[in-house]
A = this chain, B = another copy of it.
């Protein structure tokens, strides 16, 4: 009954993302991945260099989405509230539309080789800086609470956003747009 079709490298990476998200990197074998694609584990090596390279690619794709968001909101640096609103909305959109990559990014980065991991940690730090800068600018401009502990608030906001992958369900009561709005106002209440 298995449907035999030619598989692209894109298919391999996307399916790897799904399996790594569901079973974890170490819980997924190359034969598991082959099975999911309708081919043998050994045949995967015609598409990719190896298992770790596949993990690195899945994670790099996730990281690129968040990085693009940080770059995008940089243009709004004169309006910190709008910057924060866009960061929250963009994060929710990325996670809800790329749940597998987001999960692998958050849970499996530690299994990357040191060289790959270093690059990902660097991107994560730059992403965090986008939030910290928006909060700091908002405090300086008087639109957020004076004396706000900016590093702490940054951590809490990212805690909320990074937990989305745990509980977001497409069939849940709120659409991604609802979530973006409600999460933004929850945070805004706490920091103003």
Query: Is A43 interfacial (CB 8 A cutoff)?
Result: no
Query: Is A78 interfacial (CB 8 A cutoff)?
Result: no
A152→B167 contact, CB < 8 A: no
A-side interface mostly: helix
Q: How close is A22's CB to chain B, nearest CB, in angstroms?
A: 8
**Chain B residues closer than 8 Å to A164, beta-carbon distance:** 159
**How far, in angstroms, from A111 to B187 measured CA to CA in the complex?**
33
Query: Is A107 interfacial (CB 8 A cutoff)?
Result: yes
B153→A186 contact, CB < 8 A: yes
A182→B149 contact, CB < 8 A: yes
Q: How close is A27's CB to chain B, nearest CB, in angstroms?
A: 4
Interface range, A side: 20 to 34
Residue in B27, B153, B174, B187 whose CB lies within 8 Å of A26: B27
**How far, in angstroms, from A186 to B151 measured CA to CA in the complex?**
13
Residue in B24, B26, B167, B189 whose CB lies within 8 Å of A159: B167
**How far, in angstroms, from A182 to B148 measured CA to CA in the complex?**
11
**Chain B residues closer than 8 Å to A183, beta-carbon distance:** 156
Residue in B153, B155, B187 whose CB lies within 8 Å of A167: B155
Q: How close is A12's CB to chain B, nearest CB, in angstroms?
A: 21
**How far, in angstroms, from A192 to B89 measured CA to CA in the complex?**
23
Given A152-B182, A163-B163, 6 further pairs, Cβ under 8 A: A25-B27, A159-B163, A160-B163, A162-B166, A189-B191, A190-B190
